[in-house]
A and B are shown apart, each in its own frame.
Chain A
């Protein structure tokens, strides 16, 4: 039994769904961020699996670009979290429901 690209795609779909569930389920903004990272990673897995299947190296280049955007996103997001925490002393999104600072 050989590993086909469909296995990777199915696994990536499962991890993506778990990441989406984490964004909806968790109250902690940090864990929500981690769930977003999980979703980005699963998309990277589909890119690399498709690159292997089609024999094109462009899929791996796309995965690298996704990694760059994810790194920039996590930097800004964590800076926003720290700024919010310094002002409101919480990372719980239920307590951050007001629009005014």
Chain B
């Protein structure tokens, strides 16, 4: 009963956050709506006995990713409101019809495939503590885990390289020296 109430409350919160993200003209409000949805997701993970994933969700998404989004919003202009006028006629109704159709297709496919008829074939008392997730991650998933290490390293190097691009193209020399040589 408690689980049902918590699920319904946070499901409404997640949908409200997603709608707010879609409808808000100011990007900061969009980020706040997404933050609400992310936090509701962490609550769902707790309900699903995935404590470690819930903690990671709060730290990575609600913490790091949303802070990064807000930082970039502040950096590239917070007060410019988006022009919601469409260049393609009927784009908005067609979008809503497509999204509703996608939702209907996913639900129909899922309900007819396995959501109703599957039986647990793993451990029914499975609990997503940091110990059980860590044993799985560093046991059978060691190679994919190491691949994510390379992925994150490449992402960090790529971000630094992209930060070097300016109006004059790629600039690898420090700014001070470059300006002296131009002068």
Contacts and interface: CB of A to CB of B under 8 A. Distances in A.
Which of B22, B144, B158 is the most central at the interface, judged by chain A CB atoms within 10 Å of its CB? Answer: B22
Contacts, number: 230
B151 A69 contact: yes
Contacts of A81: 72, 76
Contact of B99 (A7, A11, A20, A37): A20
Given A11-B11, A18-B19, A41 B38 contact: yes
6 contacts: A6-B116, A53-B120, A61-B137, A69-B148, A79-B162, A85-B75
Interface residues of B, number: 85
Interface string B1-38: 00110010001001100110110000100110010011
A92 B158 CA distance: 23
The listed residue with most A CB atoms (<10 A of its CB), out of B121, B124, B165, is: B165
A30 B66 CA distance: 12
Contact of A16 (B52, B61, B76, B102): B102
- Of B48, B60, B75, B106, chain A has the most CB atoms within 10 Å of the CB of B48
Interface in B95-119: 95-96, 98-100, 102-103, 106-107, 110-111, 115-116, 118
Describe B's contact surface by its main secondary structure. Answer: helix
Interface in A31-81: 31, 33-35, 37-38, 41, 44-45, 48-49, 51-58, 60-61, 63-65, 67-76, 78-81
A3 interface: yes
Given A22-B22, A38-B18, A52-B126, A28 B49 contact: no
Contact of B128 (A10, A20, A51): A51
> Main secondary structure on chain A at its contact with chain B?
helix
B30 A76 contact: no
A15 B14 CA distance: 8
B123 to A, nearest CB: 5
A21 interface: yes
A58 B122 CA distance: 10
Interface of B: 3-4, 7, 11, 14-15, 18-19, 21-22, 27, 30-31, 34, 37-38, 41, 44-45, 47-50, 52-53, 56-57, 60-61, 64-65, 68-69, 72-73, 75-77, 82-84, 87, 91-92, 95-96, 98-100, 102-103, 106-107, 110-111, 115-116, 118, 120-126, 128, 132-133, 136-137, 141, 144, 148, 151-152, 154-156, 158-159, 162-163, 165-167
A34 B21 contact: yes
B118 A53 contact: yes
A65 to B, nearest CB: 6
A83 to B, nearest CB: 5
